[in-house]
Amino acid sequence: MKRQIMANASYWLNYLQGVADDRLIPEPDLRGAARALETTIAVPEAWPLTKVLALALHPHMERRGYWADWDGFLQNLTVYARQCADPEAEAELFNRQGTIQRQRGDYKAALLSSRRAWWLFRQAGNPLGRARALCNLGDLYRLQERFRRAETLCQEAIALFETLSVIADLAQAENRLGLIYFDQGRWEEALPHLTRAETLWRQISDRHGLAKSLHNLGELHRRTGKLEEALTYFQQAIHAYHWVGDEIHVARIQLNIGNIYLKQSEFQQAEAIYTQAETILRRECDRITLARAHHNLGMVYTRLGEWREAEACFERAIEGWRSQEDAWNLANALGEFACLHLACDRRSEAQACLDQAWQLVSERPEGHYELLRRELAERRLKLAQEPVE
């Protein structure tokens, strides 16, 4: 029986190693490889095969959005690696686990996993693994708005990847450094890093990585008002994401395209594409981006005068941002919800939303809060000046 289990696992490992990382594999094959991996855990002497199969399967599980199940499985594997006294495998698994937890929006768990990976790689004298863990940590600090720390870690990772001449990882780190500047509204500093990431991913024909950089470049052009260029980048990115079977990122780009329609007051088109994205995100349990979809739909329905639908969407968005402890987006959603209440002549509810939002942002030192503070201040002043009938 053991021989059969190991032969089956070897078959699926050879299969996965023969498939390009950015190529979508059929669902039955994905399930077959996952079942083979599960059975090898019961065979202690198969551990060398088990860990390699798990690492080969990881990018496909991540891309399909099977984050909750895969996170739990990786947790079990890291425990097993420790029991097998294999710290390098444990570090690799912690690094993958941190990536999945970041995708799921569980930043606290992701930080713990990535820090553990970094420490184990450092103990093992593995500079490539250490650089990858630093890159993941940098992205996590970015998502928690600790930008100075994030920038330092990504720059350190880039220096290591340059020394090691690892193009794929260098592209990833350049992309993440660009996002650190992007999130602070430092567009001119973000652009060269995002462009370099695109060039590097094209150089190695990494279609999934290329899709990321095209997506980010599209969003940068949207934010800087170059809407036609943004749409071109977005359509190219959607094509690349469809090619690799990454539906979650297709949905995320749909939200960005919807934002362009919203800005151009094309509300029906915005509603249609936001709704398409919401369907995918609900199915894939991407809580963070689903909150964005609800927020954006709330704005569309407000502008269409569909008050009940708008209110339901804002309530879902606020619940989502609150669960993620995302102060900026929560305050932003509360500000938009206040506009809805005011349009419906619910002054006290509008005032309560603005007060909550102001409490969240009034003393935040980060620069990207300043624009939101000004917007909320204008809304508070407008409410105060509104005549009471």
pLDDT tens for each residue of 76-120:
889 888 988 999 999 999 999 998 888 887 888 999 999 999 999
CA angle (48, 52, 53) in 5-degree steps? 115
Nearest C-alpha neighbor of 148 from the set 326, 371, 365, 321: 365
**Mean pLDDT of the residues in the chain:** 90
Contacts with 2 (C-beta within 8 Å, 6 or more apart), sequence order: 43, 45, 46
Residue whose entry in the numeric block shows the structure tokens 């008002």: 225
Domains of the chain: 126-245 (1.25.40.10)
DSSP 44: G
Q: What percent of the chain has pLDDT over 70?
A: 97
Neighbours of 166 (CB within 10 A): 17
pLDDT band of residue 20 (cuts 50, 70, 90) is low
pLDDT in tens, 184-242: 999 999 999 999 999 999 999 998 899 999 999 999 999 999 999 999 999 999 999 98
Q: How far apart are CA 157 and CA 177, in angstroms?
A: 10
Q: What is the structure's pLDDT at 75?
A: 87
Q: Find the Cα–Cα–Cα–Cα dihedral 179, 184, 186, 190, rounded to 10°.
A: 0
Q: What is the structure's pLDDT at 97?
A: 92
pLDDT in tens, 21-66: 666 677 888 888 888 888 888 888 888 888 888 888 888 888 776 7
Sign of CA dihedral 104, 112, 322, 336: negative
DSSP 45: G
Amino acid in position 311: E
Q: What is the structure's pLDDT at 389?
A: 54
Nearest C-alpha neighbor of 242 from the set 280, 275, 203, 200: 280
DSSP 173: H
Are the C-beta atoms of 253 and 215 separated by less than 8 Å?
A: yes
Q: How far apart are CA 189 and CA 209, in angstroms?
A: 20
Q: How far apart are CA 45 and CA 84, in angstroms?
A: 10
Contacts with 267 (C-beta within 8 Å, 6 or more apart), sequence order: 261, 300, 303, 304
pTM over 0.75: no
57 compared with 349, residue with greater pLDDT? 349
Nearest C-alpha neighbor of 178 from the set 203, 200, 197, 152: 197
For the cut 70, the answer to whether the pLDDT of residue 264 exceeds it is yes
Region of residue 306 (phi > 0: left; psi between -120 and 50: alpha; otherwise: beta)? beta
3-state class percentages of the chain: helix first, strand second, coil last, to nearest 5: 85, 0, 15
Q: Find the Cα–Cα–Cα–Cα dihedral 286, 290, 292, 298, rounded to 10°.
A: 180
For the cut 60, the answer to whether the pLDDT of residue 388 exceeds it is no
DSSP string, 117-147: HHHHHHHHT-HHHHHHHHHHHHHHHHHTT-H
304 compared with 26, residue with greater pLDDT? 304
For the cut 80, the answer to whether the pLDDT of residue 385 exceeds it is no
Amino acid in position 170: L
